[in-house]
Amino acid sequence: MNPADILKKIIATKHIEIKNQESQRDALKKAAYEAGPTTKDFAQALQVNSGLAVIAEVKKASPSAGVISADFDPVKTAKNYQTLGAAAISVLTDKDYFQGSIDYLKQIRQEVELPLLRKDFIIDELQIHEARVAGADTFLLIAAVLTEDEMRNFLAIGREFAMEALVEIHDEEEAHKALAAGAKIIGVNNRDLRNFTTDLSLTGKLAKFIPEDKILVGESGIKTGKDSRQLLDCGCSAILVGESLMRDPQKFKELQAGQA
């Protein structure tokens, strides 16, 4: 597959997924309101006194890396992250491209106290309601696949449940779009979702467009303490790390401290 087509293909698959869930729409919305607002404050969890808050990701596979963890145990992984000192846990729920599941999030919620982020390609409010019902405290919005109005709407829906979404950007235009939509937590994805190439310097280039009252998160390509130091130095409060920690959880303290 042409790398440039991956994101388009993922979103096309999401539309089919949502169409297949249409019969559950009203029930999920009702269940979300019955579940009520989360009591776990994701934004507050990302503001630490020293080093970086780490959003540690439960991730079995990805289109760029293939299978990352052959003996994958989502609950065991999440509990280990909590013990290591993660600020929050990101759970991949995309089935077709990342071998994730909303069921993993439900299982982790039973065992872990930290805020949980639903990591998926959100294009419909149904997915936000589903996230809340599963026990998520926040969710990802990707600026590349949403209009400003869609982002504003999804942010507002999340806030009805005290879920402050992480809004992901990859260029200056997306930064301005996210800010115009009212995003408070902004993640710079150093990986271009259109072709899956990674450039760690991107966070620094885009940080200058993000006001200081926002929470800045560095995402993707973070493998060493030197990498996380680079992100800390350009204003990040937090980092989201998946593949590196899935392969070697012992890197956690190095990444958190921003030093080798």
Mind listing the domains of the chain with CATH numbers?
3-257 (3.20.20.70)
Q: What is the pLDDT of residues 3-62, one digit of tens each?
A: 557 889 999 999 999 999 999 999 999 999 999 999 999 999 999 888 899 999 999 878
Distance CA 58, CA 130 (A): 18
Neighbours of 14 (CB within 10 A): 20
In degrees, rounded to 5, the angle at the alpha carbon of residue 47 between the alpha carbons of residues 84 and 178 is: 115
pLDDT at 201 exceeding the cut of 60: yes
What was the pLDDT predicted at 189?
94
Residue 260 confidence (pLDDT):
60
SS3 of residue 165 by DSSP: coil
- DSSP state, residue 143: G
Evaluate if residue 193 carries a pLDDT over 80.
no
Q: What is the pLDDT of residue 197?
A: 82
User: In whole numbers, what is the pLDDT of the chain averaged over residues?
Assistant: 94
- Region 84-100: mean pLDDT is 96
Question: How far apart, in whole angstroms, are the C-alpha atoms of residue 248 and residue 230?
Answer: 20
pLDDT in tens, 144-157: 999 999 999 999 99
Which of 38, 81, 39 minimizes the C-alpha distance to 56? 81
- Of 168, 169, 52, 31, nearest in space to 102 by CA: 31
Read off the pLDDT of residues 231-247 as tens digits, 9 standing for 90 and up. 999 999 999 998 888 88
Q: Which residues are the active-site residues?
A: 57, 59, 119, 168, 189, 219-220
Residue 112 has a pLDDT of 98
Q: Which residues contact 236 (CB under 8 A, 6 or more apart)?
A: 52, 203, 207, 216, 217, 218
**How confident is the model over 202-260, as pLDDT tens digits?**
999 999 999 999 999 999 989 999 999 999 999 999 999 988 888 888 999 999 988 76
Instruction: List Cα–Cα distances, 191 to 148, 221, 239, in angstroms.
Output: 21, 7, 14
Which string of b and e fits 172-182 if b means at least 16 CB within 10 Å?
A: eebbebbbebe
Provide the pLDDT confidence category of residue 80 given band limits of 50, 70 and 90: very high
Type of residue numbered 252: F
Per-residue H/E/C for 20-55 = HCHHHHHHHHHHHHHHCCCCCCHHHHCCCCCCCEEE
Per-residue pLDDT at 2 exceeds 70 = no
Cα separation, 55 vs 85, in Å, equals: 10
Cβ within 8 Å of residue 9, ≥6 positions away: 1
Cα separation of 190 and 198, whole Å? 5
* Residue among 51, 9, 106 at smallest CA distance from 233: 51
Q: What is the pLDDT of residue 247?
A: 84
